[in-house]
Amino acid sequence: MRYPSLQVRGVTVAQFPNPPLILAFLAAAVSWVADEGSIYEVARAVFYVALTVWAWEEAARGVNLFRKTLGVGGLIYVVVGLAAVIS
């Protein structure tokens, strides 16, 4: 089964559905609304886990160099974000 994709000049820049990325966006929205407390903490954790899954999948199995680069960028974002939380 082929999923619809958004292409720019023949390069796939987005494919749908993308459950880990959708979950990351939803968790980010919940954390923005909650702003503090346990709901915020859980939402941030879900955000980082979902974004890591999405980024790893893109970096490892992206359909082109653009998508693989997005995945690597996502992994870098997660590492920097977690380093800021830890320190």
Find the distance separating the first CA and the last CA of the chain, reported in whole Å. 45
Whole-number pLDDT of residue 1: 45
What amino acid is encoded at 61 in this protein? R
Residues 71, 55 contacting (CB under 8 angstroms): yes
Residue pLDDT tens, the chain, 87 long: 456 777 787 777 777 778 999 999 999 999 999 988 999 999 999 999 999 999 999 999 988 898 899 999 999 999 999 999 888
Whole-number pLDDT of residue 48: 97
Whole-number pLDDT of residue 70: 93
Whole-number pLDDT of residue 16: 74
Instruction: Render 8-36 in DSSP notation, one character per residue.
Output: ETTEEEEES--HHHHHHHHHHHHHHHH-S
Nearest-CA neighbor of 56 among 81, 42, 75?
75
Whole-number pLDDT of residue 14: 74
